[in-house]
Structure 1
Amino acid sequence: MHSPKTISAIRFLFFPFAFLYGIVIHIRNFLFDKKVLKSNHFSTPTICVGNLSVGGTGKTPMTEMLLSFFEKKYKTATLSRGYKRKTKGFLIANENTTALEIGDEPMQFHQNFPQAIVSVCEDRSFAIQQLEQHPNKPDLIILDDAMQHRKVTADCHILLSDYSNLYVNDFFLPVGSLRDQRSSADRANIIVVTKCPSNLGLGEKKSIEKKIKLLPNQQLFFSSISYGTPYNIFTKEEFNISQNDMVIAIAGIANPQPYFDYVDRLTENTEKVALTDHYEFSEQNIFDLFSKHKKVGKKEDIVYLVTEKDAVKIHSYQQVFINLSARIYVLPINCVILYNESDNFYRKIIAALDNIDN
């Protein structure tokens, strides 16, 4: 663990690079603002979910919350880049699709919302054109992680900022975690402070509101993470973890700390394994990873717990887990809007989608 002085010195050394990166970002945004660089708006209503920083701000739970709400009334599509997929170009998920083809997060959308049209493409503008020409044309498109993709002008921009690292206090990479300038928040219709404590006090809420300084047309919401009951990755059978269970918690996500903190509250006997974000599982590394932890306790006493994002990649390796006699469960996650503001949240979105059928 580096001392505060060491961290300050490292940041000072990287400041010139962050300054140059910031100049490039400002120039790019200026060219889009002045319409030198073209941005396309489409007839199909679009919601953009994004952030200004690298790392986990809760885009996937937010996108799933939107899917859960809107797919009840509208034929809804998601459009993602498909990070770390082994394919290229425009793809729509089907019953035979794997995470290798579309990426882990889109695969999670596909498994949890089989009625949704889950698509991936590096070129968002081209992809929307393809969706609009598709026989199963969607009524609504949710753009996942698209705040920086200014070639598309969405009808509603939802900007997410982590409670523990607000964008207003952050700085450009590599000194901070910003990949876009703070003023890009002005493009948002809605700003959501994510991963808040579920009991966030009104005093702290007001303090954050003052820091963010909303524009007249913007609205600020607060959300927290809610975890469901773990379920077996293969049988879907639910399992309630007790204080006596030995849990090996594995996470290949950007910010695993909230996940690990929650597991610590379930049982006193935990071992945590933090993998890189979008970790690529294989038969060999699964065998190595899970065999390594057998020595922690009796094999039959160990409960392996993974995130939903990792589960979609592990699912195809069922035989490996049978050979290891490993009990592996998934911890589901949900986004919850705080202060009973859910209705206002969705009203604000629908108001921005003036071309959607109400």
Structure 2
Amino acid sequence: MKQKLHLWIEDYLFFPNALQKIISFLLLPLTFIYMLIILTKRAMAKPINFGIPVISVGNIIVGGSGKTPITIKLASKYENACIILRGYGRASKGLYVVSLNGKILEDVKTSGDEAMLLANSLPKATIIVSENRVKAILKAKELGCKIIFLDDGFSKYQISKFNILLRPKDEPTNIFCLPSGGYREPKGFYAQADIELLEGSDFKRVISIKKDGVISELPAKTLLITAISKPKRLLEFLPKNIKMISFPDHYDFTKDDISKIEEEYKDYSFITTGKDFVKLEKFNLKNLYLMDLEIQIDEKVNFSLMDEYIESFKKGAQK
């Protein structure tokens, strides 16, 4: 029931049917209020320059657009990099240094799934989770970090930053902001990006199926277990006959959840995403495969503006 509900909500937000469109239109008065609040916040914000390059990797729709893997791809090229994110789905509150120069200091319950995936994927970086991004930036500077990546930081108008916006290859047919649609900010805000990256053109996802770190073939009877936004998008990378059980984004799997799945799908192998794997590995699922995601950025993408932005801080430090 829960699976059907959150899939229904995602269809409503992005690709609504006739009934869902009617509901969307009925909620438009609330959407106008929401947009007014967004526009007021943006107009009144006075961005703070922290004296350190801050690169925001964000989107303007609800849910995943590839922010975390793009952040991993970009941050891996820099020394003394820090990635700051809110840490959705974590059991903790406040500021935590999840990893310091690659040394992991917290568990996945404290960090949240995305932060732990970042920590595992960036063995030299510092990862900080915090609801307050300003405090996190100051902490990163205190720790000696030289460049900061904000995962999902576009809406943090009070922070002076370089904005990279990710655009989905399949644009939602529902163009409204919340709660009438899946846009967190007006679609016209793409024009505010310093760099806009379109999936399928500027970057693509490459999936390798791995078992215990080795590239493998999936057994015929395999179940996909996931708790990411828009889980149906994973099916294009998997065999057509695969079954799927999905949970709400950032869901914290329980022992009872896994026991029920193992009981119902006794003869099946299982596959999951990297974000889900950091939460599932403690259950020691037999025959668990990983969808190992790599981002490939097209050579035509010009990052010279970002390079100039980063270089400007080096020049400022030399004066």
- Same fold by TM-score greater than 0.5: yes
Rounded to whole Å, the distance in 2 between the matches of 1:76 and 1:64 is 11
Asked if structure 1 preserves the Cα contact closer than 8 Å seen for 2:53 and 2:309, the reply is: no
Rounded to whole Å, the distance in 1 between the matches of 2:172 and 2:69 is 18
Calculate the aligned-residue CA RMSD, in Å.
2.2
Give the corresponding residue for 2:33. 20
Give the corresponding residue for 1:65. 73
Structure 1 counterpart of 2:41, one-letter code: R
Shift of 1:292: 1.8
Within the candidate set 308, 330, 333, 2:293 is matched to 333
Give the corresponding residue for 1:205. none
Give the corresponding residue for 2:258. 286
3-state DSSP of counterpart to 1:175: coil
Rounded to whole Å, the distance in 1 between the matches of 2:82 and 2:238 is 33
Q: Spell out, residue by residue over 1:298-333, the C-alpha distance to the aligned partner (whole angstroms, 9 max, x if none).
A: x3xx32100000001112223xx3xxxx21011111
Q: Spell out, residue by residue over 1:195-233, the C-alpha distance to the aligned partner (whole angstroms, 9 max, x if none).
A: x2xxx6xxxxxxxxxxxxxxxxxxxxx21111123233x
Give the corresponding residue for 2:209. 229
Give the corresponding residue for 1:206. none
Shift of 1:187: 3.0
Asked if structure 2 preserves the Cα contact closer than 8 Å seen for 1:231 and 1:331, the reply is: no
Shift of 1:186: 3.5
Shift of 1:253: 0.6
Structure 2 counterpart of 1:186, one-letter code: A
Within the candidate set 117, 120, 129, 1:120 is matched to 129
Alignment of 1:234-273 (within 5 A): 236=213, 238-242=214-218, 245-264=220-239, 268-273=240-245
Give the corresponding residue for 1:35. none
Number of aligned positions between the proteins: 298
Give the corresponding residue for 1:218. none
Q: Spell out, residue by residue over 1:66-93, the C-alpha distance to the aligned partner (whole angstroms, 9 max, x if none).
A: 122x23xx21110001112122222112
TM-score using structure 1 length: 0.77
Within the candidate set 18, 33, 43, 1:5 is matched to 18
Rounded to whole Å, the distance in 2 between the matches of 1:258 and 1:12 is 26
Give the corresponding residue for 1:349. 306
Rounded to whole Å, the distance in 2 between the matches of 1:281 and 1:96 is 22
Shift of 1:282: 1.8
Asked if structure 2 preserves the Cα contact closer than 8 Å seen for 1:44 and 1:355, the reply is: no
Larger radius of gyration: 1
Rounded to whole Å, the distance in 2 between the matches of 1:6 and 1:84 is 31
Give the corresponding residue for 1:109. 118
Rounded to whole Å, the distance in 1 between the matches of 2:186 and 2:137 is 26
Rounded to whole Å, the distance in 1 between the matches of 2:297 and 2:306 is 14
Give the corresponding residue for 2:269. 303
Shift of 1:285: 1.5
Q: Spell out, residue by residue over 1:222-249, the C-alpha distance to the aligned partner (whole angstroms, 9 max, x if none).
A: 21111123233xxx3x14215x621111
Shift of 1:142: 0.5
Unaligned segments of structure 2, at least 5 residues: 1-7
Asked if structure 1 preserves the Cα contact closer than 8 Å seen for 2:89 and 2:251, the reply is: no
Shift of 1:337: 1.8
Shift of 1:289: 2.2
Rounded to whole Å, the distance in 1 between the matches of 2:123 and 2:160 is 27
Shift of 1:272: 1.3
Give the corresponding residue for 1:30. 43
Give the corresponding residue for 1:84. 89
3-state DSSP of counterpart to 2:167: strand
Rounded to whole Å, the distance in 2 between the matches of 1:290 and 1:63 is 34
Rounded to whole Å, the distance in 2 between the matches of 1:44 and 1:190 is 19
Alignment of 1:190-205 (within 5 A): 190-194=195-199, 196=200
Asked if structure 2 preserves the Cα contact closer than 8 Å seen for 1:139 and 1:356, the reply is: no
Asked if structure 1 preserves the Cα contact closer than 8 Å seen for 2:209 and 2:289, the reply is: no
Rounded to whole Å, the distance in 1 between the matches of 2:147 and 2:242 is 42
Shift of 1:140: 0.8
3-state DSSP of counterpart to 1:143: strand
Percent sequence identity over matched residues? 25
Structure 2 counterpart of 1:173, one-letter code: L
Rounded to whole Å, the distance in 2 between the matches of 1:175 and 1:259 is 25
Rounded to whole Å, the distance in 2 between the matches of 1:102 and 1:284 is 22
- Seen in structure 2, the aligned counterparts of structure 1 residues 350 and 166 have a Cα distance that, compared at 3 Å, is farther
3-state DSSP of counterpart to 1:165: coil
3-state DSSP of counterpart to 1:355: helix
- Seen in structure 2, the aligned counterparts of structure 1 residues 26 and 284 have a Cα distance that, compared at 3 Å, is same
